[in-house]
């Protein structure tokens, strides 16, 4: 009979309409500005720079190696090296970025900077509400805007941050152990040298 | 696209637009009828649909010549979204073009990633581990599900069903995009595959979430079919409209669901056996008539087959690494040579052709986009149809302008 298909379709829309009052499956939307769906753990929006020790300037993990600048496909990162140096998590002196800018109007959120960074210094944020009336200046993020603490990173990507922290702590412990061993070896060497010198001074007069 | 190999609908002698001698079937000389005082009758109407027409699926223009309501000539005009994709890829590293491939067909970024990864893996001799192959198949089939769901919604919107089918389709698509987001970090621009595997392993609980979505999908498909497949208006608007013959589909190298709707038994998952598709049991649905209804129905049937593949893949996925240990991220320089990697993307055969000269960026990078090649027969399908049907036919081709224009 002509029209049965349409009636069947109408029954379907009615089921969906009534179902939207009872079933979460049929009404998945939320009223956005008032209510927000929490970001997924892996979600990514734009990069930020991780810093430790609550020091947004000298605590930056970035060592201005320029790898991310080179690998960035749309070339939205701009870095200038500073002349001063700062110690990294192993205590070694490293370079420091004087300027670190990311133009997030060009950035395409591909995460390649994060993947190529050998120092775990740049990570992806989950913030996405960047709309502004200033088209150019406000979307060019500088070093002080990009720097965010490690606690922030632990909060937005807990699993990933735990891995990174474990690795870095391991490296720090190793470096400390090595430094300690170095100090001990040095002390031992000094003691030995002293003993040798003493022995030499003790034996020399006898020979003369 | 002109082809003299097949009969295309003739506008009939009474329109006054006869094909010139020696010209192909689809070329018409427009000789307007003139009145007794020499003025034009105004029978022929040339309209420009697009580039911002809501049914053109992007910035795409069609120059349509109409006799009354009948299409007698149609010229697709594209290039509005051209962004130099191939030239950019030749200037950047191999890894650097991976996020750009997301933007080709922005509904199916994961299949684009996969095709490009296959091409580079052939070039560099990398072999993704077993688990990575399974992840690739699962993500590709999920991509196919959401692409076909959306397509059915868009096609219905082109027919005038504003909203309801499309909103239902988007509601289901969002569940799949949620899976993509929790796996790759982005809903649409996934950038997930790497040469020799996948970027990260599956997060905890992802397989269970996917299983739940896959289990619930047939219920949605049944509802969707109840709503549309036997609807008399849908049938009247699509059956016998925009017929594509098997011969023309083969001659114009049409691939994907569009070719299969015309009865061409060609599915790269069966023909090429890329990845590990030979381990899965699934069938390739074929159409008889090659009209818009068949093209719609093929997609619904393909979704059911995709669900079968997903069921098997989710059951069998092994544990293990997801990256080839030989693969490296930076300073990646494959040896000189050439490679062509192709997969069955939701829209058809998607291929990447690469020539390497041993340096860090490809010497030549070429994309074979299914949308563009499927679009070339648009005129042949539209001739003799009414202008309202053009919109439905374009909807049934399933184009994304990001891929057509590149």
Gap between the Cα atoms of B108 and B380, Å rounded? 27
Q: Residue A95, SS3? A: strand
Buried b (16+ CB within 10 A) or exposed e, B396-405: bbbbbbbbbb
Specify the pLDDT at position B140.
92
Note the ipTM here. 0.79
Nearest to A116 among B229, B230, B330 (CB): B330
Q: For the sheet containing B364-368, what is the strand order?
A: B337-345, B348-356, B364-368
CB atoms within 10 A of CB B299: 25
Specify the pLDDT at position B2.
43
> What's the burial of B233, exposed, middle or buried (CB within 10 Å: 0-12/13-18/19+)?
middle
Gap between the Cα atoms of B274 and B128, Å rounded? 12
Kind plus residue range of the DSSP H or E element containing B212? helix B206-228
Place B144 in a pLDDT band, splitting at 50, 70 and 90. Answer: very high
Of A56 and A172, which is predicted with more confidence?
A172
Place B40 in a pLDDT band, splitting at 50, 70 and 90. Answer: low
Interchain proximity A13–B164, CB inside 8 Å: yes
Gap between the Cα atoms of B274 and A187, Å rounded? 63
Category of B160 on φ-ψ map: left (φ > 0), alpha (ψ -120 to 50) or beta: left
> What's the burial of A207, exposed, middle or buried (CB within 10 Å: 0-12/13-18/19+)?
exposed
Q: Which residue of B has its CA nearest to A68?
A: B330
* Helix boundaries (H) for B54-163: 85-91, 98-102, 109-124, 130-159
Is it the case that residue A39 has pLDDT exceeding 60? yes
State percent of chain A over pLDDT 70: 96
**Residue B39 in contact with partner chain A when CB distance is under 8 A:** no
User: What distance separates the 2 farthest-apart alpha carbons in chain B?
Assistant: 83
Query: What DSSP state is assigned to residue B54?
Result: T
Specify the pLDDT at position B142.
92
Secondary structure of B56-67 in the HEC alphabet? Answer: CCCCCEEEEEEE
Place B35 in a pLDDT band, splitting at 50, 70 and 90. Answer: low
Specify the pLDDT at position B403.
87
Query: In the structure, how many helices (H) and strands (E) does chain B have?
Result: 15, 8
Gap between the Cα atoms of A108 and B98, Å rounded? 12
Is it the case that residue B22 has pLDDT exceeding 60? no
Specify the pLDDT at position B5.
43
Structure tokens at B190: 């996934």
Q: Lowest-confidence range among B41-50, B258-267, B295-304? A: B41-50
Residue B304 has φ and ψ, to the nearest 5°, of -65, -35
Specify the pLDDT at position B16.
46
Place B31 in a pLDDT band, splitting at 50, 70 and 90. Answer: low
pLDDT digits (tens, 9 = 90+) for B71-125: 888 888 888 888 888 898 898 888 888 899 988 888 889 999 999 999 999 888 8
Q: What is the mean pLDDT of chain B?
A: 83
Q: Residue B95, SS3? A: helix
Interchain proximity A15–B223, CB inside 8 Å: yes
Distance from the A105 Cα atom to the nearest Cα atom in chain B, whole angstroms: 16
Specify the pLDDT at position B352.
92
Interchain proximity B191–A6, CB inside 8 Å: no
pLDDT digits (tens, 9 = 90+) for B304-354: 999 999 999 998 888 888 888 787 777 788 888 899 989 999 998 999 999
Kind plus residue range of the DSSP H or E element containing B46? strand B44-49
Of B309 and B273, which is predicted with more confidence?
B309
Kind plus residue range of the DSSP H or E element containing A56? none
Specify the pLDDT at position B14.
46
Q: What are the distances in angstroms from CA B268 to CA A27, B92, B122, B284?
A: 37, 29, 17, 10
Residue A173 has φ and ψ, to the nearest 5°, of -60, -40
- β-strand partners of B341: B352
Chain A residues whose beta carbon lies within 8 Å of the beta carbon of residue B184: 42
Interchain proximity B232–A111, CB inside 8 Å: no
List the Cα angle B90/B91/B94 in 5-degree steps: 65
Of A94 and B141, which is predicted with more confidence?
B141
Q: What are the distances in angstroms from CA B88 to CA B85, B91, B172, B363?
A: 5, 5, 35, 11
Q: Which residue of B has its CA nearest to A9?
A: B227
- β-strand partners of A87: A93
Crossing angle for the helix pair B206-228 and B164-184, nearest 10 degrees? Answer: 170
User: Which whole number is the average pLDDT over B141-149?
Assistant: 92
Structure tokens at B42: 């105004």
Specify the pLDDT at position B39.
54
């Amino acid at each position: 009979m002509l029209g049965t298909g349409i009636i069947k379709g109408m029954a379907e829309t009615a089921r969906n309409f009534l179902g939207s009052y009872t079933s979460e499956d049929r009404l998945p939307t939320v009223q956005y500005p008032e209510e927000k769906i929490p970001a997924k753990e892996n979600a990514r929006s734009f990069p930020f720079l991780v810093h430790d020790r609550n020091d947004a300037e000298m605590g930056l993990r970035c060592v201005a190696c320029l790898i991310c600048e080179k690998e960035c496909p749309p070339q939205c990162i701009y870095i200038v090296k500073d002349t001063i140096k700062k110690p990294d998590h192993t205590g070694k002196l490293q370079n420091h970025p004087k300027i670190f800018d990311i133009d997030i109007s060009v950035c395409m959120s591909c995460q390649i900077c994060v993947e190529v960074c050998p120092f775990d210094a740049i990570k992806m944020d989950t913030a996405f509400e960047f709309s502004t009336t200033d088209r150019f200046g406000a979307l060019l993020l500088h070093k002080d805007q990009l720097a965010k603490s490690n606690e922030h990173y632990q909060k937005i990507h807990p699993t990933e941050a735990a891995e990174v922290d474990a690795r870095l702590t391991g490296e720090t412990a190793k470096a400390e152990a090595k430094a300690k061993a170095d100090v001990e070896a040095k002390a031992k060497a000094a003691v030995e040298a002293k003993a040798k010198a003493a022995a030499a001074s003790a034996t020399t007069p006898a020979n003369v | 696209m002109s082809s003299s190999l097949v009969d295309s609908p003739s506008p009939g002698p009474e329109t006054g637009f006869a094909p010139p001698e020696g010209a192909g079937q689809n070329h018409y000389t427009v000789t307007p009828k003139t009145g007794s005082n020499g003025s034009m009758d105004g029978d022929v109407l040339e309209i420009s649909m697009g580039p911002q027409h809501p049914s053109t699926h992007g910035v795409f223009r069609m120059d349509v010549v109409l006799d009354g309501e009948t299409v007698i000539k149609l010229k697709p005009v594209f290039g509005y979204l051209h962004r130099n994709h191939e030239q950019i890829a030749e200037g950047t590293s191999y890894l650097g073009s991976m996020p750009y491939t997301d933007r080709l067909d922005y509904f199916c970024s994961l299949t684009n990633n996969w095709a490009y990864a296959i091409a580079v893996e052939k070039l560099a001799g990398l072999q993704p581990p077993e688990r990575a192959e399974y992840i690739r198949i699962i993500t590709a089939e999920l991509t196919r599900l959401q692409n076909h769901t959306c397509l059915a919604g868009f096609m219905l919107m082109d027919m005038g069903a504003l909203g309801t089918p499309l909103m239902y389709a988007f509601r289901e698509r969002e569940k799949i995009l949620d899976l993509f987001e929790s796996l790759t970090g982005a809903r649409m621009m996934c950038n997930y595959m790497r040469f020799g595997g996948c970027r990260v392993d599956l997060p905890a609980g992802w397989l269970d979430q996917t299983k739940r979505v896959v289990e619930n999908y047939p219920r949605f498909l049944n509802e969707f079919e109840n709503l549309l497949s036997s609807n008399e208006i849908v049938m009247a608007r699509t059956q016998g409209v925009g017929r594509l013959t098997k011969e023309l589909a083969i001659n114009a190298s049409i691939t994907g669901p569009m070719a299969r709707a015309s009865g061409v038994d060609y599915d790269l998952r069966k023909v090429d056996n890329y990845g590990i598709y030979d381990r899965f049991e699934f069938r390739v649905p074929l159409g008889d008539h090659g009209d818009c209804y068949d093209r719609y129905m093929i997609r619904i049937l393909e979704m059911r087959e995709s669900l079968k593949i997903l069921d098997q893949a989710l059951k069998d996925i092994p544990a293990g690494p997801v990256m080839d240990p030989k693969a490296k991220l930076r300073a990646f320089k494959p040896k000189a040579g050439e490679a062509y990697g192709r997969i069955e993307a939701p829209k058809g055969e998607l291929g990447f052709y690469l020539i390497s000269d041993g340096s860090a960026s490809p010497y030549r990078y070429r994309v074979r986009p299914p949308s563009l090649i499927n679009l070339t027969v648009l005129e042949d399908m539209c001739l003799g149809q009414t202008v309202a049907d053009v919109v439905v036919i374009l909807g049934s081709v399933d184009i994304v302008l990001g891929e057509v224009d590149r």
